Chain A
Amino acid sequence: MTTLITGAGGYLGRRIAAALHDEDVILAMRGADKRERPGAQEVIPIDLCEENPFAELDPRRITRIIHAAAVIRFDVDRDTARRVNVAGTARVREFAERCERLERFVLLSTLYSAGRRQGDVREVRHDDAGFVNHYEWSKWAAEECVLEPPGLPVTVVRLPTVISEDDGTVGQYNAFHHTIRLYYSGLLTLLPGDPATPLSLATAGFTVDAVTALLDAEPGIYQACSGPVSLGTAVDTAFSVFERDADFMRRMLPRPVPCDQASFHDMVSAARALRGGPLQPALASVAPFAEQLYLSKSFRTERLRAAWPGYRTADPVALVESVCAHLVERRFNAAR
């Protein structure tokens, strides 16, 4: 059993590789240097934008592929998203088709491949419901690329937004953390989104456990959610943490006012003229996903729970609280 992991140098790729430490694993990394991994795991340099990235790899060795490589910025431009996340996935698929002993081809996707659809989101293939950013679109297109034409033993794991390690420390900053920082610093006092919109937040541990548990499950589509929290509750929880901080209290910053989508859009477009200061780039980082906060979704997890006996929900409010406490304690300084 040999597992190839793409994006193995990334945040989740590294953790999945560590979870499979006693297995035969090949780590595909962009710009990899074999000296980087002195351990047992083999490292190969792979750039998915190259014509034939797996030319050096013998497909007969590979029994499992975990495709984690992607550009994950919500503000990624369409062409980059297409080149890396869609065409790159197509190259992984081409390679997978040559792996005659292949037992599983796992694509790490996102819950937001659902795009603009609202309401119940089931663990099925999605049609194109429109997308709020090119990242979402490209992850949906990557799903389509591995699922169609059928024939490969494909597992699509739609992941939640990972906001921390299991101990509440933050290993990777993303839109969640950037937004929380804007509120803490007083740069944003409007709340884009409907406070009732559920958010699916999770720890890296939960996410990696889900992926590794599903390696042995039936192929198919799974949504890895550990229990939603509403946007309003998440923000209130963040402020209850901020309000324990003397620096924050000295600045007496207000809780944000929920605003409609047109108003948030107006603010972001007006902020384009506020060049030079921190507000414009900060808002630009929030804007590409803000529209999702108006699109309430409830992710179904029946297939996940049936396939993963160890599935457990976590208290999402406690998770937000511990992450915010960590962020405040570190004054939002970079990830570990």
Chain B
Amino acid sequence: MDGLYAGSFAYALGAHKRHVRESAGAGLLRSAPEDLESAGFRWHHLCGPDETAYDLARAAVAEIAERGELGHIDAIVYATCLPAEWPHANGPIRDVKDLMDFPAGRLQAEFGLSRAIVVGLHQQACTGMLGALRLAGALLSTEPQWRRVLCVTADRFPAGAFYEQAYNLISDGAAACVVGRDRAPCRLLTVHQISNGGLARAGDDETVGTYFAYTHRLVREAAARVGTAPSALDWVVTQNTHEKAWQILARLLEIDHDRVWSPSLPDAGHVISADVIVNLSALLASGKLQSGQRVALVMAGFGLNWQAAVLEVAQP
């Protein structure tokens, strides 16, 4: 991924912020609220009844547009865990067009990205945003004329669903960023993925059980792709999960736990594939980054999939 940058990070969360105890009272959780609190979760964000995943995606992209950073987009890669916001038809579906949804196309039209083509990514669950970065890099490598790819991820749980997966408190949310050839805050060095379809139907406990060995392997392999070891990574930005998980992994990978970054855990919980961008945005804003530092973004998702991107700070 020579000469590629990632920047213009933005995100949007569901409009209603609720405390975990409130959501437990509303029957939205499987675990006891005190168990989720002991994992580090406190608040999460839910969409209002009329708010859709597309609305969240649009809000994230609008932020990039407002900053004046949405020009010259050649492709939109749209990642989602729940691909179709199906209408709640009362009878059988007669016309399958009712089952189709084209959020990337809608973004293209809404933001006037007329030269962009659209690509959908929905087999990577909570790791989809990193898959989008990888695909963006691959597209830019095979399309020498292209300059910029907009990566978007958005998910919203349907009404009545539990806002908890694999013992993580969930928020509705979206994130977006641009991968391109122009200098941006981070150079995109590599994205590494492991998939195990044999665990596609894994339950919550198997998902937790296999998390450690796979994440350990993922980070080692991702670091090796950029010629380094996990312990030499300057920062590890994670998705929001049980706070003990990375205390364990940091020890196993010999990474200083102070360099593991997930400050939005209590405030946002796990935002499907967007929390890693929420956390990266906070790191970029923190003033802690220095030029040349290497930042790994690490995510695990159903499917089961594990992805890690390694960035290098270009302009802190």
Q: How far is it, in angstroms, between the C-alpha of A259 and the C-alpha of B251 when the chains are bound?
A: 8
The reply to whether the CB of B181 lies closer than 8 angstroms to some CB of chain A is no
Q: How far is it, in angstroms, between the C-alpha of A263 and the C-alpha of B212 when the chains are bound?
A: 11
Contact with A along B9-50 (1 / 0, CB 8 A): 000000000000000000000111001101100000000000
The reply to whether the CB of A33 lies closer than 8 angstroms to some CB of chain B is no
Q: A residues within 8 A CB of B36?
A: 273
Q: Which of A182, A186, A275, A278 gathers most chain B CB within 10 Å?
A: A186
> Which of B143-151, B201-209, B232-240, B271-279 contacts its partner?
B201-209
Contact call B198/A259, Cβ cutoff below 8 A: no
The reply to whether the CB of A35 lies closer than 8 angstroms to some CB of chain B is no
Contact call B205/A187, Cβ cutoff below 8 A: yes
CB B83 to nearest CB in A, in angstroms, measures: 25
Contact call A189/B198, Cβ cutoff below 8 A: no
Contacting residues of chain A (247-277) with chain B, CB-CB under 8 angstroms: 249-257, 259-260, 262-263, 266-267, 269-271, 273-277
Q: A residues within 8 A CB of B209?
A: 182, 185-189, 279
CB A279 to nearest CB in B, in angstroms, measures: 4
The reply to whether the CB of A295 lies closer than 8 angstroms to some CB of chain B is no
Contact call A251/B199, Cβ cutoff below 8 A: yes
Category for how many chain B residues contact A: 20 to 34
Q: How far is it, in angstroms, between the C-alpha of A263 and the C-alpha of B250 when the chains are bound?
A: 9
CB A138 to nearest CB in B, in angstroms, measures: 31
Q: Report how many A-B pairs have Cβ atoms within 8 Å.
A: 91
The reply to whether the CB of B252 lies closer than 8 angstroms to some CB of chain A is yes
Q: How far is it, in angstroms, between the C-alpha of A213 and the C-alpha of B214 when the chains are bound?
A: 49
Contact call A277/B217, Cβ cutoff below 8 A: no
Contacting residues of chain B (176-208) with chain A, CB-CB under 8 angstroms: 196, 198-199, 202-206, 208
Contacting residues of chain B (255-310) with chain A, CB-CB under 8 angstroms: none
The reply to whether the CB of B213 lies closer than 8 angstroms to some CB of chain A is yes
Please give me the residue from chain A that is nearest to B213 by CB atom: A189
Q: A residues within 8 A CB of B252?
A: 190, 257, 259-260, 263
CB A78 to nearest CB in B, in angstroms, measures: 25
Contact call A254/B206, Cβ cutoff below 8 A: no
Contact call B251/A190, Cβ cutoff below 8 A: no
Majority DSSP secondary structure for residues of B touching A: helix
Q: Which of B196, B245, B251 contacts A260 (CB 8 A)?
A: B251
Please give me the residue from chain A that is nearest to B244 by CB atom: A270
Contact call A252/B213, Cβ cutoff below 8 A: no
Contact call B245/A277, Cβ cutoff below 8 A: no
Q: B residues within 8 A CB of A256?
A: 213
Q: How far is it, in angstroms, between the C-alpha of A250 and the C-alpha of B199 when the chains are bound?
A: 8
Please give me the residue from chain A that is nearest to B208 by CB atom: A279
Q: How far is it, in angstroms, between the C-alpha of A253 and the C-alpha of B217 when the chains are bound?
A: 13
Q: Which of A187, A260, A277 gathers most chain B CB within 10 Å?
A: A277
Q: How far is it, in angstroms, between the C-alpha of A259 and the C-alpha of B217 when the chains are bound?
A: 13
CB B262 to nearest CB in A, in angstroms, measures: 15
Q: B residues within 8 A CB of A274?
A: 31, 35, 167, 204-205, 208
Apart from A186-B209, A253-B210, A271-B208, what are 9 other A-B pairs with CB-CB below 8 Å? A186-B206, A190-B213, A251-B196, A254-B210, A257-B213, A263-B251, A266-B248, A274-B35, A275-B32
Instruction: Please name 26 pairs of A and B residues whose Cβ atoms are closer than 8 Å in the assembled complex, sorted by A.
Output: A182-B209, A185-B206, A187-B206, A250-B198, A253-B199, A254-B213, A257-B212, A257-B213, A257-B216, A259-B212, A263-B247, A263-B248, A263-B251, A266-B248, A267-B212, A267-B248, A270-B244, A273-B31, A273-B242, A274-B35, A275-B31, A275-B32, A277-B203, A277-B204, A278-B205, A279-B209
Nearest first, the 8 A-B pairs at minimum CB distance are A189-B213, A273-B35, A270-B244, A279-B205, A187-B209, A251-B198, A277-B205, A254-B213
